[in-house]
Amino acid sequence: MGALLLTMRPGSRTIKFSGVHPQSTPRFTSTSSKAIIVATTPATSIENIPAPTYDPTATFDTITRILSSGRASQKTLNRIALDLITPAHRLTPGRLRLVHFLSPPASTIGGGIVNLGRVSSGEEFNLTKSMTEDLYWWAGTLTNARPRLAYPPVVAQPVCPNVIYSDASGNGGVGVVVDKTWFHWEWTKTPCENMVFGEAVAVEMAVSVLTTKYKVINVHIRLRCDNDTVIAGWKKPGDLSSTDSVFLRLLRVLHESNCWLELEKVSSAQNLADKPSRGKQPDGTYTKGTWSGEI
């Protein structure tokens, strides 16, 4: 297969790049929308969706540069995965096209398998076929689907029926409530000095409990959280370096269970996980649950 020249126009800009197009990757045209599923949900009183002003230009430029060279570092791919969480909130098919960016591939060198995870995260390696295919998909989607990013969020899955809350306490630990069961984990090192990180870990623990203990799969998870910074960070990662590692782990858990996560804001007074984060039972009739995870 020879070199492929693609011309993409995100907005008023024209960007060209050439690269080897994978044989199994479909070509994208400006009229193609078959890969995009749009189903809207009724408006709610809580603003819990990404702002409609998302501009894909910077991410698009990074993707085109990578496709031109066929190489990228793990650090760059992680950054792309985080940046693409925002459009993935609205374009459901894209949610499954993030996971290949999250961990380096195995590579055969001198007849042996070398785990590229052992090398520096800044060291570039050749893209795998799956990485290349997903990058081409995102390049086409960010170009052709840009108007759709201003629409209400896409929900192509049933909403998880469980009622879930998460919270974190600096000196206590993490609390999670799932229906009428509460969970608590103490910090391995106390106190937790970065509470934004702590609140993100609480979200991660809640999702992990759902997908492992409750075996939740194929649903749209709505989790109630009282931390504005984490909620905003999940809508549009990039400014919260302390949560990047947590969000990357979350993406993998969501991928493995074919779920998606939406964070809903509740006040601290309404957060049922507030007391569990300090090792106390919430008000009412609740049972303490156990799960083998640790923080």
pTM of this structure: 0.68
In which band, very low, low, confident or very high, does the pLDDT at 233 lie, cut at 50, 70 and 90? confident
Per the structure, the complete domain to which residue 283 belongs is given by 164-288
How buried is residue 155: exposed, middle or buried, by Cβ count under 10 Å (0-12/13-18/19+)?
Answer: middle
Our CA angle for 182, 274, 200, nearest 5°, is 90
Kindly state whether residues 138 and 169 are assigned to the same domain: no
Whether 157 maps to a domain, the answer reads no
Whether 295 maps to a domain, the answer reads no
Kindly state whether residues 22 and 145 are assigned to the same domain: yes
DSSP-assigned letters across all residues of 177-200: EETTEEEEEE-SSSS-S-HHHHHH
In which band, very low, low, confident or very high, does the pLDDT at 98 lie, cut at 50, 70 and 90? confident
CATH code of the domain containing 264: 3.30.420.10
Kindly state whether residues 96 and 230 are assigned to the same domain: no
Q: Comparing C-alpha atoms, which of 82, 72, 59, 63 is closest to residue 127?
A: 72
- The percent of residues above 90 in pLDDT, for the chain, comes to 38
Whether 156 maps to a domain, the answer reads no
Residue scoring higher pLDDT (87 or 294) = 87
* pLDDT for 99: 84
Kindly state whether residues 140 and 170 are assigned to the same domain: no
- Tens digit of each residue's pLDDT (9 = 90 or more) over 170-183: 989 999 999 999 99
Q: And the tokens for 270?
A: 């309404």
Kindly state whether residues 98 and 188 are assigned to the same domain: no
* pLDDT for 240: 56
